[in-house]
């Protein structure tokens, strides 16, 4: 009973962390647009991730081969997410960018179906509602531009990252795992920006405040929160709660830039919240669907499923994970 309560608390904490991440993500488009007014996307990108990596490095402990391998893989997946979004924001407005990036929910769902994970009708309906809500809030008519394609690529990359992070994050401490990712992205960013870095020294000094915010809050804190949260909640839930990002983005746009919220914005926000509520009630309904895989894992030898065997397997797995640290 105590273990069940603890698991529920972890799930709730994971949801809270993802919502905080979505809140911070809502501030990023405006911050990036301000930074790239004086800096090239590559320079802003390289400085941002270098700042983040340097801040976390002193706190790294207990490196091992598996940790470095997983961190490098995640870093390679992380690079196109932010690089493509940065390029896309040069030509796409924040609302349009939020809508396109919100497609990561759909791609996560498609990837999960591809990997043969179970998704209930309630979960699929929640994705459809949240995606529809984003569309109602953010969509503006107009001809497609190349920036849309960059943001679409960013959404696909983010979906892949969320799926892989769900697999890797439970086996490592968050800080070293995130630090390795940030150094991989920072190195790739420096290589990308190398031809023009020296030309932007003065602009870097002028935009240092925005770059520090992007590096510390919008990079280190966001990725750390997501890494911790995905130890306790599924990739599908992460993608759906990230649907709140354009909602928060619209709020920040109103508070900081004076942009008004039209009627369709309120309607879209309400639809997104309905999708979130469906997700919050999903674990109780789908609890029976999540048990068979555990029982199947414990019945490899004799085909029988006993509660004690499952508990022993879980405790053994936890012990092995602790030994990694």
At 301 the pLDDT is 41
**How far is it, in rounded angstroms, from Cα 205 to Cα 223?**
25
Q: Where are the alpha helices (DSSP H) in 216-262?
A: 222-229, 235-241, 244-257
Whether 276 and 293 map to the same domain: the answer is no
Closest residue by Cα to residue 192 from 10, 41, 73, 63: 41
pLDDT of residue 200: 78
The whole-angstrom separation of Cα 44 and Cα 190 is 10
Closest CA to 106 of 85, 126, 81, 83: 126
Q: What are 216's two structure tokens? A: 């510390």
- Tokens encoding 156: 């696909």
Write down the pLDDT at residue 185: 96
Domain end among 263, 280, 297: 280
- Asked if 220 and 321 sit in the same domain, the reply is no
Query: Are 236 and 311 part of one and the same domain?
Result: no
Range of the domain at 25: 2-280
Helix 94-101 crosses helix 146-168 at what angle (to 10 degrees)? 40
Q: Which of 42-51, 207-216, 230-239 has the lowest mean pLDDT?
A: 230-239
Instruction: Say if residues 310 and 294 touch (Cβ distance below 8 Å).
Output: yes
Q: What's the structural domain count of the chain?
A: 2
Q: Which ranges of the chain would DSSP assign to H, the alpha helix?
A: 2-25, 28-35, 41-56, 65-88, 94-101, 104-114, 121-138, 146-168, 174-193, 201-206, 208-215, 222-229, 235-241, 244-257, 263-280, 282-297, 307-323
Global confidence as pTM = 0.72
pLDDT value of residue 104: 77
Section 1-21 average pLDDT: 75
State the average pLDDT over residues 259-286.
65
* Terminal Cα distance for the chain, rounded: 27
User: Are 178 and 308 found together in one domain?
Assistant: no
Query: Is the same domain home to 111 and 151?
Result: yes
What is the chain's mean pLDDT, rounded? 76
Query: How confident is the model over 46-86, as pLDDT tens digits?
Result: 999 999 999 999 999 889 999 999 999 999 999 999 999 88
Distance CA 94, CA 201 (A): 27
Neighbours of 96 (CB within 10 A): 21
Residue 120 φ/ψ region, left for φ over 0, alpha for ψ in the -120 to 50 degree band, beta for the rest:
beta
- Give the pLDDT confidence score for residue 107 in this predicted structure: 79
The count of C-alpha atoms lying within 13 angstroms of the C-alpha of 75, restricted to the half-sphere facing its C-beta, is 23
Nearest 10 degrees: Cα torsion 140, 144, 149, 151? -20
Same domain as 321, residue 185 = no
Q: Same domain for 176 and 226?
A: yes
Using CA atoms, how far residue 7 sits from 2, 15, 241, in Å, is 9, 12, 19
Same domain, 223 and 311: no
Given this model, what pLDDT does residue 321 score?
38
Provide mean pLDDT across the span 255-262.
64
CA distance 3 to 11: 12
Does residue 297 have a pLDDT over 70? Answer: no
pLDDT at residue 247, rounded to an integer: 73
Rounded-to-integer distance, Cα 61 and Cα 40, Å: 34
Of 173, 172, 182, 176, whose CA–CA distance to 59 is shortest? 176
DSSP string, 193-218: HGGGGGGGHHHHHHTHHHHHHHHIII
Residues 91 and 186 reside in one and the same domain: yes
pLDDT exceeds cutoff 60 at 233: yes
User: Could you tell me if 210 and 81 lie in one domain?
Assistant: yes
Same domain, 131 and 91: yes
Within the chain, what is the greatest distance between any pair of CA atoms? 69
Residues 274, 308 share a domain: no
With cut-offs at 50, 70 and 90, classify the pLDDT of residue 3: low
Closest to 113 in 3D by CA, of 167, 170, 159 = 159
Is the pLDDT confidence value at 195 over 90?
Answer: no
């Amino acid at each position: 009973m105590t273990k069940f309560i603890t698991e529920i608390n972890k799930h709730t904490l994971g949801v809270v962390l993802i919502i905080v991440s979505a809140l911070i993500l809502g501030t990023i488009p405006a911050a990036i647009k301000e930074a790239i007014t004086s800096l090239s996307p590559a320079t802003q990108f390289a400085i941002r991730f270098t700042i983040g990596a340097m801040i976390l490095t002193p706190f790294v402990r207990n490196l091992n081969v598996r940790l470095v391998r997983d961190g490098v893989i995640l870093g390679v997946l992380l690079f196109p997410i932010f690089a493509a979004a940065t390029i896309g924001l040069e030509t796409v407005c924040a609302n349009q960018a939020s809508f396109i990036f919100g497609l990561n929910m759909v791609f996560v769902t498609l990837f999960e179906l591809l990997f043969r994970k179970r998704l209930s009708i309630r979960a699929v309906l929640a994705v459809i509602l949240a995606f529809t809500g984003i569309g109602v809030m953010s969509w503006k008519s107009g001809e497609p531009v190349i920036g849309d394609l960059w943001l679409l690529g960013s959404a696909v990359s983010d979906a892949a990252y969320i799926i892989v992070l769900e697999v890797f994050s439970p086996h490592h401490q968050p800080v070293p795992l995130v630090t390795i990712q940030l150094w991989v992205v920072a190195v790739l960013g420096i290589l990308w920006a190398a031809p023009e870095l020296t030309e932007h020294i003065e602009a870097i000094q002028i935009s240092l405040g925005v770059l520090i915010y992007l590096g510390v809050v919008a990079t280190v804190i966001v990725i750390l929160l997501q890494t911790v949260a995905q130890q306790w909640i599924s990739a599908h839930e992460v993608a759906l709660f990230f649907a709140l990002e354009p909602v928060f983005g619209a709020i920040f746009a109103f508070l900081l830039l004076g942009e008004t919220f039209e009627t369709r914005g309120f309607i879209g926000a309400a639809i997104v919240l309905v999708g979130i509520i469906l997700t919050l009630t999903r674990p109780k309904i789908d609890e029976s669907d999540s048990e068979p895989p555990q029982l199947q894992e414990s019945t490899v030898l004799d085909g029988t499923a006993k509660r004690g065997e499952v508990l022993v397997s879980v405790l053994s797995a936890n012990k092995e994970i602790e030994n990694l640290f």
